Structures are given as C-alpha cells and as structure tokens.
A and B are shown apart, each in its own frame.
Chain A
Amino acid sequence: MSALRAEESLLALRQQEELEDLPKEYPLSTSEDEGDSDGERKHQKLLEAISSLDGKNRRKLAERSEASLKVSEFNVSSEGSREKLVLSDLLEPGKTSSSLATVKKQLNRVKSKKTVELPLNKEEVERIHREVAFNKTSQALSKWDPIVLKNRQAEQLVFPLKKEQSAFAPIEHVLSGWKARTPMEQEIFNLLHKNKQPVTDPLLTPVEKASLRAMSLEEAKMRRAELQRARALQSYYEARARREKKIKSKKYHKVLKKGKAKKALKEFEKLQKVSPSAALEELEKIEKARMMERMSLKHQNSGKWAKSKAIMAKYDLEARQALQEQLARNKELTQKLQAASESEEEEEGAEDEDEMLVPDAVNEVRMNADGPNPWMLRNGPGEAEELDIQKDPEQPPEPVAHEASESEGEENPVAEEEMLLKELEERRSLRKKPGLNQDAKPVGRRETKDSSSQEVLSELRALSQKLNKENHRSTKQKVSSARTVLPVQREEAADEEEEPMLLQRPERARTLDELEELGREGCFQDKERPRPAVNGQWLERKPNNQPGAPKEKPKKEQMIDLQNLLSTKSPSVKSLAVPTTVEEWEDEEEKDQRQMIKEAFAGDDVIRDFLKEKREAVEASKPKDVDLTLPGWGEWGGVGLMPSAKKRRRFLIKIPEGPPRKDKNLPNVIINEKRNIHAAAHQVRERAPSGCLSLLPGSLAWEEGSSALGSRRMRDLDHRIKSVLVSLTGSGMNNSESTLLF
C-alpha cells in the first residue's frame, strides 16, 4: 500500500513539473519561423495539460517532442518501447534494502489475484429476474392442470363447487344434551348405569377399545411371515421378468410366442371337452382377434417389409416365397366370411413379421366400434380416405389437417380459399417428393445389370430409411412441441375461421309463424347453395403433371374398395339368400322378425319387385343420349318415314357414362345419389359440421343420438338429461342474502 502511495506522489510531482514547463515553452512556439502545424501541436499540448488537470487522464505520460536543456527525469516515458511500466521495475533499486521485501511480497500477491468481473447491467439483471419468476409461477400454475381438465370434461358442474359440509355431531354430544324423561327411558338409563356402561362420553370404555385393537402374538407372527414370503416371491418374479425382458434374441421371443399360442390352443381343446359353452366364448374371442387382424389391413403388401421384399423377390428365392406366403395369408384373411376358428399360431407368426408394417394408431379407431364389422356400419367416403391417409406412412401429415379444413370449408367462400391455399401448399410438397423418388428409381434401374445390385439395394434401403427417419423426426418435433404446450391448452379448435354461431339480421322474428318461416328459409338457402366438393372431385382436381399422385390414387381406391373388403363378388340375386356376416350376428329376435316378415309377404315376390325397382332406378339415373336428328331435313319426311341410319348415327350425341353407381356391387341396396330436397330440410348434412366431432360412431354422444331420449317417466331417472351447469343462487353469498333477485 505504501508503495502505491509512493507512486501516487511521484505522479503528482510529475504533473507539477509539466505545469512549470509550459510557460517556458510557450514563447518558443510563438517564434515566426515555426510553422502553423507546430503552433497547432502546442495548442494541443496545452489542451492536454489542461484536461489532465481533472482526475480522469491525469496519468497521461508526457510526450517529449524537442530537445531542451532541462530534461526532467520524471518525464521519461515508455511509450516508444511499447512496454508497460511494471511496479516491480520501479522498485528495482529498492531491492537491496531488506525493509521493502515485505512490501514486494504483498505486491506480488495482489498481482496474482484476479480482477472481479463487471456486474451485468441493470436491464439484463431485471430480465433474468423476470424469467426466473415467470418459470416459477408457471410451474406453480401447472398444479391446476388436472383440476381444470376435470372441470372441462365434467358432464355436470354444480356450483358452488365447495359445499359446506353439514357438520356431523358425534352421538355422545347429542346425547349429552338430552335427558331421560319418560319412565321407560329412565328405566333404561338405570339399567345402563347399573352395568357401568358409558352413557355420554365415548360409547366404548378405553379398555374395550384397546382390547379390540390388540392382536395376539401368534397372529402377528403369522402375518409377518406371510408378508415376508410375499415380498420374497414378488422380488423373485420381478427379477425373473427383468431378466427375460433383457433377452434380445428375436428367435427366443418368437419361440416363446409360439409356445404360448400352442399352450392356448391346447387349453382351448381341453376346454372344449370340459365345458363347451366356455369354449364357445373362447372361440368368439379368437374370432374377434382374427377380425381385428383383418381390419388392421396388415398383410396388404403395402408395408415396408413387403415393399423391400418385393424388390428383393427378383433376386432372392426366399424373399419371393415369403412374399407369396404373405399374399396367401392376405387372401385367406380377407376372403373368409364364415366365422370359422382359425388357428391362432398363424396369426402370431405373422404378427412378429408385420409388427413394423402398420402403426398401431391405424387400428385404434377401428377397435372402438365393437360392432360386428365396422366397414358395414359406416360407408362414408371421407372416412375411408382418412383411413387411407393414415395408412400411408410416407405421406406428409398435411392432408389430414387439410381434410378437416375442407370439411369445414364448405360454408363460405373464405374457407374455400383457404382450402385452395392448402392445396397449393400440398401440391408443392408433392412436387418436391417425387423429385426424391425419381432420384432413387433410375439408379436402381440402371444398375440392375450390374453385379453390384446388392449395393443398390442397400442404398435404396438407406434412402427409404432416411425418408422414414425424417418423417419420424417431423412427427416427433410436432409431438414435442405439442408436449411443451400443456394438455389443457392443447384443446384448440381445429379451425380459426369459425362459422358464426349467430345468424344476425336486421329483421325481427317474434312470433311462431315468423320462426316457422325462418326455418323454411334456411332449408331453401341450403338447397341453393352448391353442394360441397365430394372427396372424389377433390382428388380429381389435382393436376396430372405430378408423376407420383395419379399412380397412388387408383391403388388406394382399390384398397378401400367395398368389394375387396366384403368379398361379395356375386351381384346376383342368390346372395340375398346366402347368410352374410351380419346375419350371423343377429340374434333370435331378429330371426323371428324375419320370419314374420316372410309370412306377411308370403303372397308377393318382394325380391323380384325390389330388383325391378332397382333396375328402374338405375335406368333413370343413366344419362340419356341426345338425338339431334331432324326428320325431314334434307330428305322426305312424314308418317312412317324414318331418317336414314347414317344421319341418325351422325346426329346422335352419346353422353359418356357417369361414374359407377355406389350400389353397383350391393345387390340388395338402392342408393339414391340424388339429394331429396324435401327430406333435406330435416336431415343433418352428411358432413358433420365442425362442432360435432362427438357424433362419430363409437362415442357416447353417438350412442345417445341414435336412440330416443325416452319417455317422461324414464327421463326423470335418466342421468343424461341433467342440465350441464347447475348454479345455485347465492354461491359465495351469505345465506341470509341468497334470495332470488326477481
């Protein structure tokens, strides 16, 4: 410290010297021979000297610019050598003196210490504070998530949510304020008192309570032993399960599965002998599993495995065989209509091959509707397409969203435009896609001759893997981004441009008649409005210049073809009599019903009538040719004279046949594809509006919607018909105040 102070004093001295120098130099600079530049420099120096007076740059070293007689020793500057003057150098002369040694040590210690970093500026600090506080509070808030979610999903909310618990007074308290009055009561109490039974305070004596609570030693020991055994067993099983789970060998698992299946089969056989009814149930279960498998659209040869095998099949006999097997299984699965038991092992075997083919998500939707065959239950083209899209893992996830938007877009032109936009986007993405595919394909073709076909294959595989990975990543990203948003927030309306809930008009509708008029008006509006684009049209609108798209479409359509699925290939009358799968599920009642109908219509041939009707309907719906021949034009006309055949041929305009009828392959159904205006007024539009997703089959709302709410008596008991919000007047109010306002 003292050294520092010494330095300070040195500097102060130097400053003084400078100030003394100045006046001496000044007259020199005024001489005539000195140039202007010199004067300037002097001025600069003066300014420097003045400015050095204030504390800031006092330590500026003096500049020696010209020779002078008197050179101050303090004016020595190290500027030229570009070296910093170090403290120890200054103290060099004092080396010898032992008294300064401690000071030097101290100085060294000071030097070795690091300088403290500058504190952050205020704004930065505040920002950090804010961020921390925000994170804290948002974490604290997330504790409400489950409650909020529960409230949102609750079928009925009753307010006030917190009910005042009516306090239960223990019986002792009630009794204490009560006195025996009648002679009978008095007698009873006398008896109780005599037997020293507690009357008021706890009903049991403490001794009794303790004896009730106690457990004998033997009992306790036994219990302990039991617990110990259970624990040991549990840990053993856990360890075993863990060990087994770790086994990576695929073969092992395959064998295990097969073993299990065999065991199940054996058990089933045993069961069949013992109790046929239970066996029947089991059979049903197996059958259901088969149906699930069928519905899952596995074995369709569209999976990754199948595709790779298809490529390999050219070169590899084994692959070809595997593929054929797969095909056979597919056929087998899709063909069967009669409910027949199928050995489960086959399925099991197939499953582990196909595990990767179809994501489970595809099946989930199907599982919900546990009717006999969901394909028979619903036949909307939209749904089929949706499924299709889900099935194809290569396709970007856009179309689904775009589906949704489309379904809502029918209302206004604004939404239509949005649809157009989306289409545009999609087209772009598609255009990009084929590029990738094109890259891959020619390479494969070129090198088929080469011996290095294996290489190509591996390359292809890598490419496809990459594609898949990208897909995965994108979905993952989406998922993760969704995850960051909390579950409560996630419920967002699919569409932003909602259709307004109100239809606002400057006209009033006050009476019933006016309202009736309104309703009718609504229907007419409906009629005038062009029908929304059907999915088919929507697909058609896509330009054909994309190489990928047209190829895909027909394939897809094939896949969801009703004919393939139901394999009702004979559109003949016979199939009416042949029992279909649906019929199998009919119960006795319906058979009775059928019988009754048969009896009722015994006289007339309903089937033929129906067929005739259908034929007529088909005829009526067919587009008619336009005959433009003018009899008598250019030739003689009159009764019995026909225009020449050539002319007729020439002027007959043949109208191309429209798309095939929907009921072409359904012999016992007439589907009227024209919309009936009169019925339309009272029908829900085929496409459910945005709000009623819950009306999908399988959901609870659907179950409700398909049946009547019921008669009044049933209604009272029905939980469904309770208002959603029940708010009691005076929630949070004083009871005395909780009167009705009006």
Chain B
Amino acid sequence: MKVKMLSRNPDNYVRETKLDLQRVPRNYDPTLHPFEVPREYMRALNATKLERVFAKPFLASLDGHRDGVNCLAKHPKSLATVLSGACDGEVRIWNLTKRKCIRALQAHEGFVRGICTRFCGTSFFTVGDDKTVKQWKMDGPGFGEEEEPLHTILGKTVYTGIDHHWKEAVFATCGQQVDIWDEQRTNPICSMTWGFDSISSVKFNPIETFLLGSCASDRNIVLYDMRQATPLKKVILDMRTNTICWNPMEAFIFTAANEDYNLYTFDMRALDTPVMVHMDHVSAVLDVDYSPTGKEFVSASFDKSIRIFPVDKGRSREVYHTKRMQHVICVKWTSDSKYIMCGSDEMNIRLWKANASEKLGVLTSREKAAKDYNQKLKEKFQHHPHIKRIARHRHLPKSIYSQIQEQRIMREARRRKEVNRLKHSKPGSVPIVSEKKKHIVAVVK
C-alpha cells in the first residue's frame, strides 16, 4: 500500500540562520490587510514621540580654558582631535574620546584671532592680536624641549583671521587686506584689497580651491581669485557679515552669518539675490559651519543658542541651548557629520549630537533597519497634525522665547505699515520688495 505524504520544501519554512526571525507564512495581498495604513500611522506617532523623548543632544562639555573660546579648528585626519583658541592667547588641543585636553600652549599675547590646521594634519597655524602668524607642530614638544612655534611671521597690522588652502602649502590671512602666503616665505605672495575696512574672516573654497571669500566690517562680502590675484565681486548687505562658510559639496554656494540675525545662502554667480534667507535667531549670528554632507549647516549666535538649518529651508530644524551656555562664538561640525562643537563666552567647548535623538555607538543591522523604517514612517506622516505638533515642539529658555515674540510683533507692525503705505499710494509708486532682495544693498563689480 502506498501512503501519500505531505511534502514541503524546507526552504519555505526553515529560517536561514538561528538569528533570523521565524518564518511565518503570510499572505501579503493588500486587500486582506485593510488596516495596514492606520497601523502604520500609529507606529509613526509612537516613533515621533520616542524621538522627542530620546532627544538628548548634549554630550559633553570640555572645560579648561581660562577665557572665552574664540576659535575652533578640526583636525583633518583625526576625528577625535579638536583645536581651540581662547581670548587669552592660549591654544588647547583636545581629545574628544577621552574628553580631555591633551596639550595647552600660550600661543599669543591677547586674543587668538584665528586658527587653522594644515591639510596633512601635521601642523597648525594661529594668528593673534600681537600681529604675528605662528605655525606650530601638531605633536607636542619632546622631553626637555621648549614649546616653540615652527615659524613666526611678524606682520605690520593685526591679523583677524586665517585659513589654509585645502591642497597646497598656501594659507590666507585677513586684516587690513587679504594676504596669500607661501608657507616657506615671510612675505605674502600677493595681497588683495578692495576698500579700506578691516576684514574679519577669510575662507578658502574646499572644491575650487583657488577661490576665497571674505567679509569686512563695512558690511560687504568679497570674493577673490587666488590664481588671478584679483577680487571678483563684492556684495553689500544691510548689516555686517561676521563670517562665511562654503558648502563642501557645492562649489558655488556659501552661507554668510549676518549681524541682522539672519543667515544668507548665496550662489556666488548671482550675488544680487541670496538663494535662501535663513531666519530664526534672535540676535547676531557669529559663526556658521557646514555639515560635510553639504545638506545642513549649524550656526552660532549671540543669543546663546545654536541652530541647525537645512540648506534649502528658511527656518531651523533644531535649536540647542543650555542654561550655562553664554554667547556662542564659534561652532564646528565634525567631519563624520555626527557631532557639533561650539565654543562660547564662558570658556567651555560643548559637544552636541547633530541628530538629537540618534543612538550612539554601533548599531546592529536590525536596529539600523528599524531606524530607517521609523524615519520613513515619520516622513510619510509628517503632515498629520498630531504628529506634526509633537515633532515640532522645542523647549526654549524664556529669554529667547520672549525675544522671539517681541520680534514677531515688530515684524508684523513693520509689515502692516508697509501694506498700508502700499494701499494708499499711487499704484506702482511703492515697489514690493521681496524678503530676499530686501537685505541686499548693492552688488559691486
């Protein structure tokens, strides 16, 4: 007699490894799962809530400076190394994993105005109020050696900023003029001027490395070409720009941190209108730095907070503050795009997560998958009011909050006046100026 047996392919019900989930036969026909979307909505809601619950961006505070931190620099080769210069002329090198200062040196008398590292990471440059440019070795002096700079250049005027070329042994300083220096020489290769006011910051373009941008205290931003040794163009804004930062992924985009509480993202080929005006700060913006992905940037402000802006959005996606953090003077985004460092008036350097609720450390593949899935869910349901309200909520200190309210009222009043003027004037006599154009005074060729 033949006995008929049920026979199934074990591939269909046996899991591949022990770590894998048990296989459950399931019919994926969408008509059989009518509540799939509502279930996903609930998941999205929960994910959003958890995101807010776990949003604890503050990681560490590095203390040791005896005066306000004036400038920061990243090490180009080592993620864990950060350099900082203080207002008393001291430079400190920090190890972020240990959260300790590994070296301190008295670099200048008076402020350390600027600090930058060489692209190879073996040395760094500082400029200070004592009219000198100094080059230092990254490693500390050996036993018995004295802490001495590799080179010292004595200048005639105070240098207010410095930046190193991304590929060559060339650096640029600014002060009364923009000077381009060869590392081997004590005189600048070329100096470029346009106007007479002191220049507060100069930055090399990371992609088209011969391009420079600078901002001066007579409210302008000037672009230079190192190869042709000429300035290119100048744009004058309403108020002074404190510093600029080039987008590391898009050669022609840069963002300017302005004294009028806003940041302006420009396309350097069309300076007459900024690509985007980023507003949310309630006081002067002092520093800005791009994420290495080029999609976001972080700004430090006099209003004791730092904010993260998407490049293509006019409003910030995140605001960081703590009770003890005073005016934030400098800010940097680390090269793995995960952390943000800021140096502030009250002598501390703070370390933040770039994504407030991100889990640190190594993620298992399942954790990673869950994270991606939750992210997608949040994105999908982001416009649902319930979820939106939760995702948007941020705590603010009362001072900033009240300032925001105050400025909102002021802005509204101004707008009302404008509208009234427009209403009661001869048509065409009062032009409507868009917000983007409003802050641009002129573009000088």
* Cβ-based interface call for B41 (8 A): yes
Q: Total number of A-B contacts with CB less than 8 angstroms? A: 273
From B294, B361, B372, B397, A740 is in contact (CB under 8 Å) with: B361
* Residue in B59, B335, B412 whose Cβ sees the most chain A Cβ within 10 Å: B335
Closest to A497 in B: B435
B225 close to A742 (CB less than 8 A): no
CA of A493 to CA of B276 in the docked complex: distance in angstroms?
Answer: 8
Which stretch of B125-133, B138-146, B147-155, B384-392 is in the interface?
Answer: B384-392
* Cβ-based interface call for A515 (8 A): yes
B88 to chain A, nearest CB (A): 28
* Cβ-based interface call for B232 (8 A): yes
Which stretch of A22-30, A67-75, A132-140, A656-664 is in the interface?
Answer: A132-140
A741 close to B96 (CB less than 8 A): yes
* Cβ-based interface call for A488 (8 A): yes
B396 close to A737 (CB less than 8 A): no
B383 close to A721 (CB less than 8 A): no
Interface members, chain A 478-524 (any B CB < 8 Å): 485-486, 488-489, 491-493, 496-512, 515-516, 518-523
CA of A515 to CA of B389 in the docked complex: distance in angstroms?
Answer: 9
Contacts of A709 in B (CB 8 A): 40, 373, 376-377, 380
* Cβ-based interface call for B103 (8 A): no
Contacts of A574 in B (CB 8 A): none
B362 close to A510 (CB less than 8 A): no
Mark interface residues in B235-252 (1 if CB within 8 Å of A CB, else 0): 000000000000001111
Interface members, chain A 432-490 (any B CB < 8 Å): 485-486, 488-489
Closest to B408 in A: A414
Closest to A493 in B: B314
Interface members, chain A 681-729 (any B CB < 8 Å): 681-685, 688-689, 691-692, 695, 704-705, 707-716, 720-723, 725, 727-729
Contacts of B432 in A (CB 8 A): 421, 425
A140 close to B389 (CB less than 8 A): no
B61 to chain A, nearest CB (A): 14
Interface members, chain B 194-211 (any A CB < 8 Å): 207-208, 211
Contacts of A424 in B (CB 8 A): 422-423
* Cβ-based interface call for A551 (8 A): no
B117 to chain A, nearest CB (A): 13
* Cβ-based interface call for A732 (8 A): yes
Contacts of B207 in A (CB 8 A): 144
A711 close to B26 (CB less than 8 A): yes
Interface members, chain A 49-79 (any B CB < 8 Å): none
A489 close to B77 (CB less than 8 A): no
A721 close to B445 (CB less than 8 A): no
B339 to chain A, nearest CB (A): 7
Contacts of A710 in B (CB 8 A): 28, 36
Contacts of A681 in B (CB 8 A): 385-386
B366 to chain A, nearest CB (A): 9
CA of A85 to CA of B436 in the docked complex: distance in angstroms?
Answer: 65
Contacts of B45 in A (CB 8 A): 519
CA of A734 to CA of B336 in the docked complex: distance in angstroms?
Answer: 12
A742 close to B97 (CB less than 8 A): yes
B438 to chain A, nearest CB (A): 9
Closest to B402 in A: A506
* Residue in A144, A418, A738 whose Cβ sees the most chain B Cβ within 10 Å: A144
B77 close to A141 (CB less than 8 A): no
Mark interface residues in A400-441 (1 if CB within 8 Å of B CB, else 0): 000000000000011001101100110010000000000000
* Cβ-based interface call for A159 (8 A): yes
CA of A493 to CA of B369 in the docked complex: distance in angstroms?
Answer: 32
A545 to chain B, nearest CB (A): 16
B389 close to A521 (CB less than 8 A): yes
CA of A499 to CA of B59 in the docked complex: distance in angstroms?
Answer: 30
* Cβ-based interface call for A151 (8 A): yes
Contacts of B36 in A (CB 8 A): 708, 710
B390 close to A129 (CB less than 8 A): no
Contacts of B183 in A (CB 8 A): none
A733 close to B78 (CB less than 8 A): yes
B386 to chain A, nearest CB (A): 4
* Cβ-based interface call for B6 (8 A): no
* Cβ-based interface call for A264 (8 A): no
From A142, A510, A731, B336 is in contact (CB under 8 Å) with: A731
Contacts of A688 in B (CB 8 A): 383
Closest to B52 in A: A515
A741 close to B97 (CB less than 8 A): yes
Contacts of A711 in B (CB 8 A): 26, 28
Closest to A489 in B: B267
B328 to chain A, nearest CB (A): 17
* Cβ-based interface call for B5 (8 A): no
B55 to chain A, nearest CB (A): 9
B419 to chain A, nearest CB (A): 5
Mark interface residues in A182-209 (1 if CB within 8 Å of B CB, else 0): 0000000000000000000000000000
Contacts of B339 in A (CB 8 A): 741
CA of A714 to CA of B392 in the docked complex: distance in angstroms?
Answer: 30
Contacts of A36 in B (CB 8 A): none
Contacts of B228 in A (CB 8 A): 129, 133, 136
Which stretch of B64-72, B168-176, B315-323 is in the interface?
Answer: B315-323
Contacts of A144 in B (CB 8 A): 207, 250-252
Contacts of A691 in B (CB 8 A): 383
The number of residues on chain A lying at the interface, defined by a beta carbon within 8 Å of a beta carbon of chain B, is 103
B363 to chain A, nearest CB (A): 11
CA of A681 to CA of B385 in the docked complex: distance in angstroms?
Answer: 6
A682 close to B41 (CB less than 8 A): yes
* Cβ-based interface call for B218 (8 A): no
From A140, A488, A516, A725, B267 is in contact (CB under 8 Å) with: A488
* Cβ-based interface call for B37 (8 A): yes
A384 to chain B, nearest CB (A): 22
CA of A521 to CA of B387 in the docked complex: distance in angstroms?
Answer: 11
* Cβ-based interface call for B137 (8 A): no
CA of A486 to CA of B270 in the docked complex: distance in angstroms?
Answer: 9
A718 to chain B, nearest CB (A): 9
From B292, B314, B317, B419, A496 is in contact (CB under 8 Å) with: B314
A78 to chain B, nearest CB (A): 49
Interface members, chain B 370-424 (any A CB < 8 Å): 371-373, 375-377, 380, 383-390, 392-398, 400-401, 404, 411-412, 415-416, 419, 422-423
A708 close to B372 (CB less than 8 A): no
* Cβ-based interface call for B231 (8 A): yes
* Cβ-based interface call for B275 (8 A): yes
* Cβ-based interface call for A213 (8 A): no
Contacts of B76 in A (CB 8 A): 732
* Cβ-based interface call for B313 (8 A): yes
Closest to B399 in A: A506
B249 close to A496 (CB less than 8 A): no
Contacts of B389 in A (CB 8 A): 503, 518-519, 521-523, 525
Once A134-B232, A500-B315 are accepted as A-B contacts, the answer to whether A512 and B49 lie under 8 Å apart by CB is yes
* Cβ-based interface call for B268 (8 A): yes
Contacts of B102 in A (CB 8 A): none
B316 close to A727 (CB less than 8 A): no
Beyond A133-B225, A502-B316, A503-B394, 13 extra complex contacts between A and B, CB < 8 Å: A134-B223, A144-B250, A148-B251, A157-B293, A485-B270, A501-B392, A504-B404, A509-B52, A519-B45, A519-B387, A523-B389, A709-B40, A742-B361
Q: List 23 A–B pairs whose Cβ atoms lie within 8 Å, in order of A's numbering.
A: A488-B250, A492-B276, A496-B277, A498-B314, A502-B315, A502-B393, A504-B401, A522-B389, A523-B386, A526-B385, A683-B384, A684-B383, A691-B383, A708-B39, A708-B40, A709-B376, A709-B377, A721-B369, A721-B373, A722-B372, A723-B372, A725-B337, A741-B334
Interface positions of B (Cβ within 8 A of A):
21, 26, 28, 30, 33, 36-37, 39-41, 45, 49, 52-53, 59, 76-80, 96-97, 207-208, 211, 223, 225, 228, 230-233, 249-252, 267-270, 275-277, 280, 292-295, 312-319, 334-339, 360-362, 369, 371-373, 375-377, 380, 383-390, 392-398, 400-401, 404, 411-412, 415-416, 419, 422-423, 427, 432, 434-436, 445
The 8 closest A-B pairs by CB, nearest first: A522-B389, A708-B36, A496-B435, A503-B392, A498-B314, A134-B232, A138-B269, A504-B396
